[in-house]
Amino acid sequence: MKISDIVKPLELESLTEDFKDREIRGAYVSDLLSDVMANARSGDVWITLQTHINVIAVATLKALPAVIITNNRRPDDETIKKANEEGVALFKTNLTTFETAGRLYQILKAG
């Protein structure tokens, strides 16, 4: 499963100019960055409401290929800039976290 495979089904809007179409191994859902640092696994897509620039630092640290910000929240420009610099694929979606995670779960289990 690649990042590009989930863009349509999860109704993702790409915020980074272009992204490396990396392999997805699983996903992690959390709004506590400390929890993500402790428990996300490399290759996970991270689904969150948080939009702070630290999100990108944590994603880089944990080798998470993509971050999806849910509920139509828009991160500020600093966060997007950092994502571009670090090569983290950053997306937003109008879907709720529940809907996003649910759809992704089905895709990953089927794929």
Asked if 81 touches another protein (CB under 8 A), the answer is no
CB atoms within 10 A of CB 13: 14
Asked if 36 touches another protein (CB under 8 A), the answer is yes
Separation between Cα atoms, residue 21 and residue 31, nearest integer Å: 24
Among 25, 52, 81, 103, binds another protein (CB under 8 A): 52
Kindly state the smallest distance separating residue 55's Cβ from another protein, in Å: 8
Nearest Cα neighbor of 86 from 20, 38, 35 is: 20
- Interacting residues with another protein (CB under 8 A): 31-37, 50, 52-54, 57-58
